Copies of this chain bind each other. A is one copy, B any other.
Amino acid sequence: MMNAQQIVLANRPEGMPTKENFRAESITLPPLNQEEVLIKGLYFSVDPYMRGRMKDVESYAPPFPVNEPVYGNVVGEIIDSKSASFKEGDLVRGILPWATEAVAKAQSVVKIDASIADPSYFLGILGMPGLTAFFGLLYIGKPTPGETVVVSGAAGAVGIIAGQIAKLKDCRVVAIAGSDEKIEMLKEKFHFDEAINYKTIPDLNKAIKDACPKKVDIYFDNVGGKISDAVIVNINTHARIVLCGQISLYNATETPVGPRLEPLLVTKSALMQGFLVGDFKNKFSEGIQQLSQWIKAGALKYHETIIDGFDKLPEAFAGLFSGKNIGKMIVKA
């Protein structure tokens, strides 16, 4: 028997989430059954997609029940095991509750190899965000050398990888982000060809047009809304619009409206494809292998915003929607 802290969804956010939507609780963990493990959470991932699960509507994943713990990607350490697959000290990753310690089925977690990269990287570049960027860009965007790729949310966990993979594929990469600090990082550390601060540029449409003299072949979209409007009006014939995320719309309380894109998609013979990383489940090992190889070779860099303290999870999550993170947002317990 062990005591732990967990964070539950206290009520469903209306619009922007706040820390008042969550509540910390003390719980007593049950003893382990066979094929179960006890995990101490080390790194907790907060991701924009989790906002969708806080709504009471059917989606690709069931909604989080109110008064139950929030679940997300967690890297933790095995501190007790009734499974032959895991021993104390093993580092694992899985979809686990926001809890300081948790009991999980052994089959619900996978071991991570900290010799490849820091454990927290398995929540980012070597986790869901990395695979999302990899499959979205390569399998939907299908970049060819010399093409122009625009990435929105380019300083975010996924965008920062998508842009770098596009560079590795010899594309011109134009990044859009929301602070001068992010813009500087995207140019100086990640060497994107252009980086535009959408919050300070007077005319985003014109800025994109100027930055993309050969128009936009691939738009890797993490944000949606007015930023996307400005990009999409600049697409090329046979453009591919990779719909990865729509963070600007996740907190909308009414159905967002915008220009109808279909007539342009017809005249440009353009593709717009939504996807979830799970669509590529049977190719995950290919993605992990290639990403690991690029990391080891120094071809892919990464950036994290690590917030200290398990109890900061609600604030860190809410901060995603005001752009507080640079790169992957992670809470370290």
Residues of A within 8 A of B (CB): 52, 59-60, 221, 224-225, 228, 237-238, 243-246, 249-250, 255-276, 279
Say yes or no: B266 contacts A260, CB within 8 Å: no
Most interface-central of A60, A237, A257, A273 (chain B CB within 10 A)? A273
A249-B262, A259-B257, A267-B52 known; A273-B276 Cβ under 8 A: no
Say yes or no: B262 contacts A269, CB within 8 Å: no
Closest to A232 in B: B262
Say yes or no: A243 contacts B259, CB within 8 Å: no
A245 to B276 CA separation, bound complex (whole angstroms): 28
Say yes or no: A275 contacts B269, CB within 8 Å: yes
A221-B262, A265-B272, A271-B274 known; 14 other A-B pairs, CB under 8 Å?
Answer: A60-B267, A243-B266, A246-B260, A246-B266, A250-B263, A255-B260, A257-B258, A257-B260, A258-B258, A258-B260, A264-B274, A268-B274, A271-B272, A271-B273
**The 4 nearest A-B residue pairs measured at CB:** A265-B274, A266-B274, A272-B272, A256-B260
A83 to B109 CA separation, bound complex (whole angstroms): 74
Residues of B within 8 A of A269 (CB): 60, 274-276, 279
Closest to A237 in B: B60
Say yes or no: A249 contacts B243, CB within 8 Å: no
A249 to B263 CA separation, bound complex (whole angstroms): 8
A268-B274, A274-B267 known; A255-B259 Cβ under 8 A: yes
Sample 11 A-B pairs with CB under 8 A, ordered by A number.
Answer: A60-B267, A224-B262, A224-B263, A228-B262, A244-B266, A257-B258, A262-B272, A266-B274, A266-B276, A267-B274, A269-B276
Q: How far is the CB of A48 from chain B (nearest CB, A)?
A: 11
Say yes or no: A273 contacts B267, CB within 8 Å: no
A93 to B140 CA separation, bound complex (whole angstroms): 38
Closest to A225 in B: B260
Which listed residue (B225, B259, B265, B275) contacts A266, Cβ 8 A? B275
